């Protein structure tokens, strides 16, 4: 297991789904704030406890789009 994999595993063990929040701006420039536990995936399920949150976020599965900081 490489360092990046170990860090990813550590981050999913350190944060519960109810501790992960996202923000997203809508058309009138208002910011929506929502929790990972509020997300329903296209198949009707919720994100699993053992899901790779970072990978799914980058893939756009949680709505808020990753941007440059």
* pLDDT tens figures, 4-62: 666 566 566 678 888 889 988 878 888 889 999 999 999 999 998 888 888 888 888 88
Containing structural domain, residue 28:
3-58
| Three-class DSSP category at 34 | strand
64 within some domain? no
**How many domains are contained in the chain?**
1
pLDDT of residue 69: 47
Distance CA 28, CA 35 (A): 21
pTM of the model: 0.68
65 within some domain? no
27 within some domain? yes
What count of other Cβ atoms lies within 10 Å of the Cβ of residue 31?
Answer: 8
Contact by Cβ (8 Å): 25, 33: no
pLDDT of residue 33: 93
Check residues 41 and 3 and name the one with the higher pLDDT.
41
Distance CA 5, CA 37 (A): 24
pLDDT of residue 46: 93
């Amino acid at each position: 297991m490489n360092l990046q994999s170990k860090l990813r595993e550590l981050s999913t063990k350190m944060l519960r789904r109810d501790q992960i929040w996202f923000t997203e701006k809508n058309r009138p420039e208002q910011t929506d704030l929502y929790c990972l536990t509020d997300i329903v995936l296209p198949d009707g399920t919720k994100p699993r406890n053992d899901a790779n949150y970072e990978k799914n976020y980058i893939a756009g599965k949680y709505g808020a789009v990753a941007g440059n900081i």
